Structures are given as structure tokens and as C-alpha cells.
Amino acid sequence: MIKIESFALGPLGTNAYLLSNPDTKQAIIIDPGMNPKPLIKRIADLDILAILLTHAHFDHIGGVDEIRKLKGCPVYIHDLEADWLSNPKKNGSARWPELGAGIEVEPAEFALDEGQVLEFLGIKLKVFHTPGHSPGSVSFLYEKHLFGGDVLFRLSVGRTDLPGGDSNALLDSIQDKLFVLDDDVVVYPGHGGKTTIGFERDNNPYV
């Protein structure tokens, strides 16, 4: 049985997700954000197999290198944002210096792509390329659990006014990739509380 835990990290309350198998003490992390001490404390006795990134904005990648060095795990990101990791201007950390120093992360070990299936912890995660909030945004689907980064929120959607944002692409991603999923698929967003595909399809005022 896979356990899913969330940690609101950093000044923007970015959700990091820990998927773990309590029996094997193995886990993967999705979007380890800034100020990751609560997450690092939680994973002290876990074997971290991978860090998966929904996209490369600074508030989602702030804890990547600290955890990667601590646990010796590879990082996965879409190629369209591979160079954002080491570029504070592209990942946005240079834009808001009041939130902390510019973030530069070592290159990712692996690339993500549309339709790819990742296998960890005895489960499969399907990768959807869901651009709009950023060009390389991806969402991960494990059974009825969707980890969508900053694409879809409860009664809201990701902002598109940052470099590489595209409001038409965002709406296409939501309509063509996410809203075709089952009503009871739970959405785990990059910020805020969980929701479901069915609730957002029926109630989201932005889509």
C-alpha cells in the first residue's frame, strides 16, 4: 500500500509530495520546494529512489540539490525546462530576491516526456505533458491520483503571466489531458488543498 504525504514548503507554501512504501521504506518525492527541513526530517530513514519535478519554477525546486546529495537519488524533468534548473532568471528566483537567494540546481539525470510510464515502488506513474503554466510542465498519474503541479487548482488554474506561460496552452492541457480523466481522480496541486477532476470539470470558473 503506497502512502501519500504532503508538505507545504517555503514562503509560497509549495506542496511537496512523498509517495512511500512503508514495508520497504522506499519512496519518491515530487517537487521538493524551498526550506525543505520538514521533508528532510521525514525521509531520514527512507531510501529515496527519485525526485520527480512537475516543472522548474524556483519554489518547486529549492530543495532538490540538498535532498539529492543527501540521498543520492536522480532527478527527472521535462527537457523543455532542463536548463531552467541552473538559471535563476528562467526559474524565477532572480525575479523575487526578497524570497531568497537565486536558485541554481545541478542538471537532472533523466528527461520526462508525454506518455512515458515510470515504475517505482511497485507502481506505475504515467507522464502527461501539460504546458501552459510553463512550457515543460508535466502531470503524473498513479491510479486515481494526479500530481499536477501548477496546472489545475481547486476552483482555479495556474498563472500564465510568467516567462513561457501560455493561457491557451494551459486550457488545452486541462481540457484535453486532465478533464478526460475519471471524475473521481484526486488532484494533488502545487499549492493549496486537494480536489477532484469531476469537481473541477463541473465548477472551475476558469475552464
- Structural domain boundaries in the chain: 3-203
Helix (H, G, I), strand (E, B) or coil at 156: strand
> Could you tell me the pLDDT band of residue 89, with boundaries at 50, 70 and 90?
very high
> Could you tell me the pLDDT band of residue 167, with boundaries at 50, 70 and 90?
very high
For residue 109, give the DSSP letter.
S
Q: Report whether 93 contacts 102 (CB < 8 A).
A: yes
Superfamily of domain 3-203, CATH level 4 = Ribonuclease Z/Hydroxyacylglutathione hydrolase-like (3.60.15.10)
> Could you tell me the pLDDT band of residue 76, with boundaries at 50, 70 and 90?
very high
- pTM for the model stands at 0.98
Sign (positive/negative) of CA torsion 130, 99, 28, 84? positive
Mean pLDDT of 21-26: 97
